[in-house]
Amino acid sequence: MISCETQGASKTVARRYLRDMGVAAALYMASVVAGALIIGQLHPPHWVRIGLALAPLAPVAMILRAILVLINSVDELQRRIHLEAVLIAAGLTAFGTFAWGFLEEWAGFPRLTAMWILPAMMVLWGLTLALVRRRYA
Amino acid sequence: MRNRLKVLRAERNWSQADLAERLDVSRQSVNAIETGKYDPSLPLAFKIAAVFGLPIEQIFSADDAAQAAE
């Protein structure tokens, strides 16, 4: 998925993107593991739990920034491909989560947390990117 | 929109990668323009014209204009 994202980008841009994504992913993993351990074992007060719950958002913001920098650094066709893919992924995610919401309410489907929306969109973005790219190949 | 990119490139013995480097775009972009899958923006069309040293209208033509000429 990563190589698909940086396709068409210069080596400098691709390297910077991969570096930023790597750092952000490591920080994300560290914040999630640390948060889960602290909450599970130390049972901190509520305000600390809020802080720990929001901590993974910093690396997620870094990931979104890395994606924006990548999209702004590639040529116009690559940007169009990225934007089309993001739009389709966002639409599919919105459609899917909306449908799941109705299924939860009316058909007793298991409840999912909103935490899964962003990862679902990212995965769909990877898939739609490959599909949209094929159209211009 | 139609274009003569492939012919003009061949006349100069440039590969798609050569032209892409001159235009500062990806090779895929050059390929997509050549095959008519993507119409470049006006700034990129001007850049292409500058690289070939030709007026834009000698490189690009509207589909209906090309059909009318035939």
pLDDT band at B39 (very low <50, low <70, confident <90, very high): very high
What pLDDT is recorded for position A127? 95
Place of tokens 């972009």: B29
* pLDDT surpasses 50 at A26: yes
Q: What is the pTM of this model?
A: 0.81
The single-letter DSSP state of residue A18 is: H
The pLDDT of residue A7 is above 90: no
Half-sphere exposure (Cβ direction) of A44: Cα atoms closer than 13 Å: 14
Whether ipTM tops 0.90, in short, is no
**pLDDT for position B68:** 61
Out of B29, B31, B37, the one facing A75 most closely (by C-beta) is B29
Choose the closest CB to A75 out of B25, B31, B37: B25
* B contacts of A8 (beta carbons < 8 Å): 26, 28-29
pLDDT surpasses 50 at B49: yes
Label residue A1 by pLDDT band (50, 70, 90). very low
The pLDDT value recorded for residue A86 is: 94
Q: Does position B66 have pLDDT exceeding 60, yes or no?
A: no
Chain B residue with minimum CA distance to A75: B25
Which domains are present in chain B? 2-69 (1.10.260.40)
Q: Do A135 and B37 touch (CB under 8 A)?
A: yes
* Whether A78 and B28 lie within 8 Å, measured CB to CB: yes
d(CA A118, CA A60): 9
Q: How many A×B Cβ pairs under 8 Å?
A: 36
B55 CB neighbour count, 10 Å cutoff: 9
Both tokens assigned to A29: 């993993």
Interchain CB distance below 8 Å, A137 and B29: no
- pLDDT digits 0-9 by tens, A49-89: 999 999 999 999 999 999 899 888 899 999 999 999 999 99
- How high is the pLDDT of residue A137? 86
